[in-house]
Structure 1
Amino acid sequence: MDNRELYPIGDAARRSGLSVSAVRFYADAGIVEPAHLSGAGHRLYDVDTIARLELVRTLRELDTDLDEIRRLLEGGTTLHDLLTTHLEIVERQERTLRARRAVLRTLIRQGGTTAQADLMHKLVSMTDEEREQTIDDFWNDVGEGLDVPDGFVDRLRAVRPVLPADPTAAQLEAWIELADLVRDPAFRDAVRTYLHGTYSTDMGRSIASAPSQDFIYGNGAALIEEVLAAHRAGESPRSPRVQKAVTRFMEAAAALSDTPLTPELRDRMAEGYRRIPEIERQIAEEDAASEDPVYDDTHGRYLSLVAVVNGTAPEEETLPYAWIAEAMRAPADGV
């Protein structure tokens, strides 16, 4: 294209990707005026004005307001600032659309009513403070009068959803389900009943005690992860590294009850780990037949939804119980 050549309005329209009427409109609106008027009054455009028309077309496709385009072309703003502003607008629109999509998907899946649609819209539109209060109200109700060790409910309360500023559709859908559940009195009652039945017994109170919880989610978790890392690396359960790690884990576990780690205790713990898959099957069968609230439908459902909202849902991993049991088994020559 010759920088000095002038082009009639039809050529300018074709080269800029606009219609003739659009080029004429932008000229009349003072957005992009022609470079020259012929003696017969025909509008003529040079390379610079055609380039400006191309920019206007692009910005209009991005829904940029004409006044903003005029300010840009007149030097009242920069292209960088204009595009930055519009990126922010597009991102807000994207978040809004994502929230609407989550509501629609949930409604379609549940066969929702108009009232449910209104509720779900309110749930995804909550502020951070409102979400925090919703979870606090849930745990305040569940924990009221619950016969469990001191501090246990506070530990449960600490595991809470934190919806990111730019959530995915899956995170929004999980939050809708979770918020709907924790506001449901029947779900609150079921969680309270499950927690009472599980942690008010002697064994349950022992597990819910502060030392046991510190071990399960603190030092113990780190030690067993070290053992599992060795398994993932293909090491033998009787290798020196595995034996050292698993012994530290068992010593820490035994210390919870002030019990020395003897060869006999190692073998009992090993047998317990070996039987875990069988025990899990028995629990699953009992839960399936039970009329009482069970973990997967109560606290377990809460935790799984929180993990999705927080983006921390773990990948499924089948634990090598037989391998761990072999690692725990006491050496032939004792501890």
Structure 2
Amino acid sequence: MATMNDHELYPIGDAARRSGLSVSAVRFYADTGLIEPTGLNEAGHRMYDIHAIARLELVRTLRELDTDLDEIRRLLEGGTTLHDLLTTHLEIVERQERTLRARRAVLRALIKQGGTTVQADLMHKLVSMTDEQREQTIDDFWNDVGEDLEVPEGFVDRLRTMRPVLPADPTAAQLEAWIELADLVSDAVFRDAVRTYLRDAYSAPETRVLATEPFQDFMHVSGAALVEELLAAYRAGESPRSPWAQQAVTRFMEAATALSGTLLTPEVRNRMADGYQQIPDILRQIAEEEATSEGPGYDDTHGRYLSLVALINGTATEENHDCIPYAWIADAMRAAPRQPGRNTGPVSRARR
């Protein structure tokens, strides 16, 4: 390809080819005064130098970004800078991207559900909701679910705090999760199923304690932190009878027994150990019972709500009970308490 120099003039055909435009487009930009030719040849044909061709190429690039001709004219006349123009168009492209992502989420959901025109309109409204409207949707759900539900005071308010927060720039997966959740919480059948599950799980005298504030706080805050401390010892390869593991498991069991005012005796440790040893079998039994039960189960009700909230909030993790070392924890629980005066802390080993 021949090289270009600052002084040579090129006919309109060459200018079009080198700038990537059609001859008619180059002629149009000249007629509108946007990029005028550098001069005319002896036959009166338009000629362009390399600077004009570079400007034509810039116009082509900006037009491919859907830049308005008036904006391009302001740029070429010095009314704005290329940086400001590109920044503005980056914002436009990002808004278009968010819109397309939302449309993709709606289309995927419609294809999955075999949706109708009415459903398409509803899904579009769901992804277009304001933050306040989303908050009200979740509040309405919990107000309905919690009405006349015989559970300890404050339990529904705690459940209400676990709610979706759609980010300003959500992914397609987050939008799809929100569409599904918003559709579910607005469904009277789903609301009834969640209410029935919570009533069956927490209304009976032997299970009401599970819904009390101290127990819920232990399960989700203080106890969860203690379990994580115990698991850290396991992941570090500690023996269940090591000082670190014994300190962690004792702290956990003391906090657990304090909920019922029980002293942590060797007999209590053994009972707790037996319980932990049996958890895998209990979980399998629960899964089998829910699979054959005609009533609503956790995974289809409150569990589904929580999993969708986690997806929307970007906090979803793969829950795998098989990865929890129940047997190791049970061994740590059964180990005899350390004698007073002996070092029961993980400090020396944890910091090495």
User: TM (normalized to structure 2)?
Assistant: 0.92
Query: Which of 302, 320, 327 is the equivalent residue of 2:332?
Result: 327
Equivalent residue for 1:194?
A: 197
Q: Which residue of the partner structure matches residue 313 of structure 1?
A: 316
Conserved 8 A contact 1:263-1:334? no
- After superposition, the CA RMSD in angstroms is 1.4
> Which consecutive residues of structure 1, in runs of 5 or more, have no partner in the other structure?
none
Q: Give the length in aligned residue pairs.
A: 335
Structure 1 runs of 4+ with >3 Å offset: 332-335
In the TM superposition, what are the counterparts of 1:9-24 in structure 2 within 5 Å? 9-24=12-27
Partner of 1:72: 75
| Shift in Å, 1:193 | 0.9
What pairs with 1:189-268 in structure 2 (closer than 5 Å)? 189-268=192-271
Greater mean deviation of Cα atoms: 308-317 or 150-159: 308-317
Gaps of 5+ in 2: 341-352
Secondary structure of residue in 2 paired with 1:44: strand
Specify the code of the residue in structure 2 equivalent to 1:89: I
Which residue of 2 is the match for residue 276 of structure 1?
Answer: 279
Matches within 5 A, 1:74-153: 74-153=77-156
1:333: how far off? 6.7
C-alpha deviation, 1:233, in angstroms: 2.5
Question: 1:101-140, CA deviations, whole angstroms, 9 ceiling, x for partnerless residues?
Answer: 1111111111111111111111111111111000000000
Preserved CA contact (<8 Å) 1:237 1:327: yes
CA contact (8 A) 2:155 2:212 kept: yes
Separation in 1 of the partners of 2:198 and 2:338? Answer: 43
Contact 1:264 1:330 in 2 (8 A): no
**Alpha-carbon distance in 1 for matches of 2:279, 2:45:** 88
Cα distance in 2 for partners of 1:202, 1:334 equals 39
Which amino acid in 1 is paired with 2:225? A
Residues of 2 paired with 1:204 and 1:91: CA distance? 50
> C-alpha offsets along residues 244-283 of structure 1, whole Å, 9 cap, x if unaligned?
1111111111111111111111111111111101001111
Written as runs of structure 1 = structure 2, the 5 A alignment for 1:23-42 is: 23-42=26-45
- TM-score, length-scaled by structure 1: 0.97
Supply the distance in 2 between the matched residues of 1:238 and 1:75 (Cα, whole angstroms).
77
The answer to whether residue 301 in structure 2 is matched with residue 301 in structure 1 is: no
Kept in 2, the 8 Å contact 1:38–1:44? The answer is yes
Q: Distance in 1 between matches of 2:240 and 2:57?
A: 69
